[in-house]
Structure 1
């Protein structure tokens, strides 16, 4: 009997059992909603349990709202303001993760609440948040109270229903392609390099054939009628060495260097200019996307000027949309970047004001 059981458990030598695999997949949707609370001084003292609410917004196909209690949500939080996320749905339960943060004048987030909260929302448990969101004494004179206004940013991730799907199985594990790493090593090692660039006194060695196939501008410079006379060393003016280094890294690997992946506005702006200059379209679009995700009061005007100069229509639209958002235009106008924008692109004001007017008209229609 024991031998028979072992035969069932272990296949004979050279025989493979059929194998299947599956996995559970849970997708999510993440979005940001900014709730601007105007006239804070008039709300202070309105009473415990009384609140002002954002408009209802949609994330993951479900409706949500942020509520701010200037004098706290309950008597247990005397001296504190409260903030809660409310689930407006009535027909299903949903799991979510979120943060509520106060925003400073320049668009930076305060450290009042910087931890994610998780909650399973349902019609019976439709709110979750911070009973002691911030001490009221810390609001007056703080960097996040500007012109008697507070802005609460809600970063919300909503989990969708889990699903099960098959996983392809194989007896042989094939490693992922590391072609981009090979090209990165080729760039870093300089083996076989046949052209040198002088950028601000720093020398970069590269391979003409790689540059030519990745950039139409390099192709013309290195092989076309307009090719440089002294092709052994080419001077690059009006570009920082770090930006040119990032450009080369992308040309060889089709990826951003690690220290560019956080999408800091200044670096992305310079890299966008370089990508446009050398016709590296995918890099230009990546820069556009990252800039559109990090627009704030301090950077929107300079980013819009850049979008105008380099014909980045999607980035231009994102900037105008941000500036036309309720109560955003006034603080943007105060920045140095806006003064530069008006000086370099005076005609852009008409588009901004047209967008503001359109949003205002839509809001009036919604109120009817």
Structure 2
């Protein structure tokens, strides 16, 4: 079942010289156990628990990206877009960038544009400016290039 949903798991089990193929076991000991259980549950049921908070969804998204489970990654992006707010957008933006979740990243940029005054005065934004200047620059470039140009002058 794992190999049908993940190219990473497929590679682990189809190459005979891997530890996973020899033992028929995978050890994921560097991730949140609850997130791992949710990922495995999704592989078997194609469902994700309802009522997860943003941190729980982020943990699952990180695993979905790491193990290339595209359906789960898409579902996590949708859930995080639904949960986006001025309070969590900087955290979610950073994760979207790390996981190459482009749809989620665009939604974060739209949220930042919508709540720009509140967000740019927040501690998470200040922290993001210190730790990931290239991401902040990308966000600001996209906001400036958006359709917010001034009205045309009358003749």
Classify the TM-score, shorter chain: 0.7 to 0.9
Distance change (3 Å), C-alpha of 1:242 and 1:263: closer
Paired residue total: 153
Q: Which has the higher strand share?
A: 1
Whether 2:4 is the aligned partner of 1:218: answer no
User: For residue 249 of structure 1, what is the aligned residue in structure 2?
Assistant: 41
Whether 2:84 is the aligned partner of 1:295: answer yes
Deviating more after overlay: 348-357 vs 242-251: 348-357
State how far apart, in whole Å, the 1-side matches of 2:11 and 2:130 are: 34
Please, what is the CA RMSD of the aligned residues?
A: 2.5
Residue of 114, 126, 151 corresponding to 1:365: 151
Displacement, 1:357?
3.1
Contact 2:57 2:79 in 1 (8 A): yes
State how far apart, in whole Å, the 2-side matches of 1:334 and 1:266 are: 22
User: For residue 66 of structure 2, what is the aligned residue in structure 1?
Assistant: 277
Contact 2:13 2:24 in 1 (8 A): no
What TM-score results when the alignment is normalised by the length of structure 2?
Answer: 0.83
Distance change (3 Å), C-alpha of 1:297 and 1:220: same
Contact 1:275 1:281 in 2 (8 A): yes
Name which structure has the greater RCO, CA cutoff 8 Å, separation 6+.
2
User: For residue 94 of structure 2, what is the aligned residue in structure 1?
Assistant: 305
Displacement, 1:365?
1.5
Distance change (3 Å), C-alpha of 1:276 and 1:359: closer
Structure 1: gaps spanning 5 or more residues:
1-209
State how far apart, in whole Å, the 2-side matches of 1:365 and 1:323 are: 22
Displacement, 1:351?
2.9
State how far apart, in whole Å, the 1-side matches of 2:51 and 2:48 are: 10
Structure 2: gaps spanning 5 or more residues:
none
Contact 1:222 1:231 in 2 (8 A): no
Q: Which has the higher helix share?
A: 2
State how far apart, in whole Å, the 1-side matches of 2:95 and 2:85 are: 15
User: For residue 56 of structure 2, what is the aligned residue in structure 1?
Assistant: 267
State how far apart, in whole Å, the 1-side matches of 2:89 and 2:153 are: 29
Larger Rg: 1
What TM-score results when the alignment is normalised by the length of structure 1?
Answer: 0.38
